[in-house]
Amino acid sequence: MKNIVLLSVILVLIVLAQVNVWACGCPGRVKDITKAVTKDFNQASMVFSGNVVASEWIPKIEKNSSGQKIRAETLVLKFAVDGWWKGKIKNEVIWHTSHIRYPDLGIGESGSNCEYGFEVGKKYLVYADSLEGKLKAHVCGGTRRIEDAEKDIKELQKLNLEEKHLQEGSKLTGEDKSFIIKSILEQNPQIKSRVSQESAEGKLVIKLSEKNIDPKLLPKLPQLEFVLLNTNDIKNYKGKSLTYWEFGNFKVNSFGRVTVVFSLINLGRGFFPSKSVGTYEYQKFNNKWVGKKVSSYETN
């Protein structure tokens, strides 16, 4: 009887885990571990390993639909870091989760079911993304308990070795970057359709983060106008809805292959921020850059 109960509990947990993954639209991690780790590494802004050593509910003030202030609390975690593969190296990481509760209203804990759930006292390999200055880890990404991350860590060590032995000849010139930027923009369906309409009335205004982009490298495309946003523009949107595009770092490996992430970020008033991410890879053949989107996913 005990075995039957135990088996039933395990089956329920498996089903719940699958429902959570399906609800987030997870395509599933590719079986090729090298490709999987490379993808997760390129899409992350920070990759590290560490123990969750503490958690705390931090007070914050929110407003209800009537504009009245209400007391809320958000869950914050503290990581003691012991391994680092990407991002600015730190000894500890403060992690603001999306979990929130409203003590005065008797409303318990809630949060995004697409956010990876960490436990105090456990150690993890974390692929973290940065959104509005806060770190997030998606359940569809590579984040996992450290005991399940042995293969990931071996691949991350290889990636770091590639970075250290980057050949001078494979570094991107401004002209190379400009071509790749233009190519990525032209592959985007929304932009592609407008650019092809030579007689379209007015121009499509694209708000673009100036992070990782030299304004001089932006191509001139018909029916398209760029508005460059700096960090303060994005930080101080003051609760209004804001949608913009952002290029990630242009990563070049020792074989000259370029990987870059291009994201559409929605900061909607009253909703959790969402992000549509596309990863593009480029390689130079016969002195000509060739590339395409190799993966995509959405977060919320």
pLDDT in tens, 250-281: 888 766 788 899 999 888 765 667 888 889 98
Domain positions in the chain: 28-164, 168-299
How would residue 239 be classed by pLDDT, with cut points 50, 70 and 90? Answer: low
For residue 85, pLDDT over 50 is answered with yes
φ/ψ of 118, rounded to 5, equals -100, 155
pLDDT of residue 191: 75
Query: C-alpha dihedral over 217, 220, 224, 225, to 10 degrees?
Result: 60
pLDDT of residue 213: 86
Q: What percent of the chain has pLDDT over 70?
A: 77
pLDDT of residue 153: 92
For residue 30, pLDDT over 90 is answered with no
Pick the more confident residue, 161 or 121. Answer: 121
For residue 116, pLDDT over 50 is answered with yes
84-88, 109-113, 183-187: lowest mean pLDDT where? 109-113
Residues 6+ apart with CB under 8 A from 14: none
For residue 76, pLDDT over 90 is answered with yes
Average per-residue pLDDT in the chain? Answer: 78
pLDDT of residue 111: 55
Pick the more confident residue, 127 or 70. Answer: 127
The residues facing 265 across adjacent strands are: 244, 275
Round to whole Å and give the CA distance between 277 and 135: 16
For residue 48, pLDDT over 90 is answered with yes
Q: Quickly list DSSP for 34-61.
A: HHHHHHHHHH-SEEEEEEEEEEEEEEEE
Pick the more confident residue, 39 or 109. Answer: 39
Round to whole Å and give the CA distance between 184 and 293: 8
What the block records as the tokens of 41 is 């590494």
Give the mean pLDDT of 90-97.
Answer: 88
Pick the more confident residue, 109 or 234. Answer: 234
Whole-number CA gyration radius for the chain: 22
Q: What is the CATH number of domain 28-164?
A: 2.40.50.120
The pLDDT tens digits for 131-158 are: 767 788 988 889 999 999 999 999 998 8
Nearest alpha carbon to residue 49 among 98, 86, 77: 86
